[in-house]
């Protein structure tokens, strides 16, 4: 089984497109090579057909501490982003990605990226108004 090289992941917080505080938008660049340096074929058994995006909730997202997978998105290879909305519970949400080949091969997982979902901030009641 050959693994892919060069899957780059970015996690957007609220810069472009205003991502909600309880959401995480991941964008990535698909791999263009196999790990042996050969070009990744566009078709055939070694071609990429999907990107799997896993989410977990963990105190840390360090290697080996990804946590229990809570959600998996299976994204068509033509797409290079995924939006997770309504993330609960409050805490650190970890994300990692892998490419899936037509022959069923799975690339190595990317290093995990994370976003902390904060508890909602209580808002003050509105003022009381009177008119005379």
Q: Do residues 42 and 34 lie in contact, with contact meaning Cβ atoms separated by under 8 Å?
A: no
Neighbours of 33 (CB within 10 A): 12
The Cα–Cα gap between 19 and 108 comes to 28
pLDDT at residue 75, as a whole number? 97
Task: Please give the distance of CA 31 from its chain centroid, rounded to a whole number.
Answer: 16
Please compute the mean of the pLDDT values over residues 43-62 and round it to a whole number. 93
Q: How many helices (H) and strands (E) would you count in the chain?
A: 0, 9
Supply φ then ψ for residue 92, to 5 degrees: -85, 125
**pTM of this structure:** 0.80
Predicted confidence (pLDDT) at residue 1 exceeds the cutoff of 90: no
Task: Give 74-93 pLDDT, tens digit per residue.
Answer: 999 999 999 999 998 899 99
pLDDT at residue 11, as a whole number? 52
Is the peptide bond between 83 and the residue preceding it cis, with omega within 30 degrees of 0?
no
Domain boundaries, the chain: 4-117
Q: Do residues 40 and 103 lie in contact, with contact meaning Cβ atoms separated by under 8 Å?
A: no
Please give the share of the chain, as a percent, with pLDDT higher than 70.
86
Q: CATH classification of 4-117 is 2.60.40.10, yes or no? A: yes
Task: Give 2-41 pLDDT, tens digit per residue.
Answer: 444 445 555 544 344 578 889 999 999 999 999 999 999 9
pLDDT at residue 121, as a whole number? 83
């Amino acid at each position: 089984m050959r693994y892919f090289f060069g899957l780059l992941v970015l996690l957007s917080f609220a810069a472009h497109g205003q991502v909600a505080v309880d959401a995480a938008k991941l964008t990535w660049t698909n791999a263009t090579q196999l790990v042996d340096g050969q070009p990744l074929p566009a078709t055939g058994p070694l071609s990429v057909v999907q990107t799997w995006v896993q989410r977990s909730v963990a105190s840390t997202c360090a290697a080996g501490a990804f946590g229990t997978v809570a959600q998996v998105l299976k994204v068509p290879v033509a797409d290079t982003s995924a939006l997770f909305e309504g993330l609960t519970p409050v805490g650190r949400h970890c994300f990692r990605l892998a490419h899936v080949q037509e022959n069923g091969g799975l690339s190595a997982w990317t290093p995990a990226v994370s976003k902390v979902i904060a508890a909602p901030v209580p808002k003050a009641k509105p003022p009381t108004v009177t008119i005379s």
